[in-house]
Homo-oligomer: A and B are copies of this chain.
């Protein structure tokens, strides 16, 4: 936010009980923000017949084109347990096709149908509304994204290590 030259957070100086309170706040903030975002999208995407997570998958396909379930999973940090049924629903909705790869019969390539590709046009109007609804400036959004990215990376490291 400001100049903050001290890189040392000195968390060790804060008593446990205080941290528990702070933790409450942080946990809650992130959890609530994520769900508030989801709630907004639920509304905005209702016309398109997409859920929030399905929208994320479609964004990947719109940007990157056909790719395997694994590739989508890596991009969104989701595993097959989440993606398999989700992709089946998108297939049932007629938005994507699922085809076993010829080169590697283990992998399934997800491709957009014409309908799925066409949906992008209607989705273009969504983000503007969302970003406006956040009430954040473009700078704040970029800053938020940077901090969240670092947070996710650090937590991922910590979990993996």
Residues of chain A whose beta carbon lies under 8 Å from any beta carbon of chain B: 1, 4, 6-11, 14, 16-17, 19-37, 39-41, 43, 52, 55-56, 59-60, 62-63, 76-77, 120, 123-128, 130-141, 143-145, 147-156, 158-159
Distance from A64 Cβ to chain B, minimum over Cβ atoms (Å) = 10
CA distance A110 to B106 in the complex (A): 50
CA distance A22 to B138 in the complex (A): 10
CA distance A143 to B9 in the complex (A): 13
- The interface residues of chain B lying within 8 Å CB-to-CB of A144 are 26, 29, 144, 147-148, 151
Q: Is the CB of A128 within 8 A of B56?
A: no
Q: Is the CB of A33 within 8 A of B148?
A: yes
Q: Is the CB of B158 within 8 A of A40?
A: yes
Q: Is the CB of B29 within 8 A of A132?
A: no
CA distance A127 to B40 in the complex (A): 30
Ordered by A's residue number, 17 sampled pairs between the chains whose C-beta atoms are within 8 Å are: A4-B137, A4-B139, A6-B139, A9-B131, A9-B139, A20-B120, A23-B59, A30-B33, A32-B152, A33-B34, A33-B155, A39-B155, A40-B155, A133-B155, A134-B151, A136-B154, A144-B148
CA distance A98 to B26 in the complex (A): 28
Given contacts A22-B141, A34-B30, A37-B30, A151 and B135 within 8 Å (CB-CB): yes
Q: Is the CB of B23 within 8 A of A136?
A: no
Distance from A116 Cβ to chain B, minimum over Cβ atoms (Å) = 15
Q: Is the CB of B131 within 8 A of A11?
A: yes
- The interface residues of chain B lying within 8 Å CB-to-CB of A14 are 138
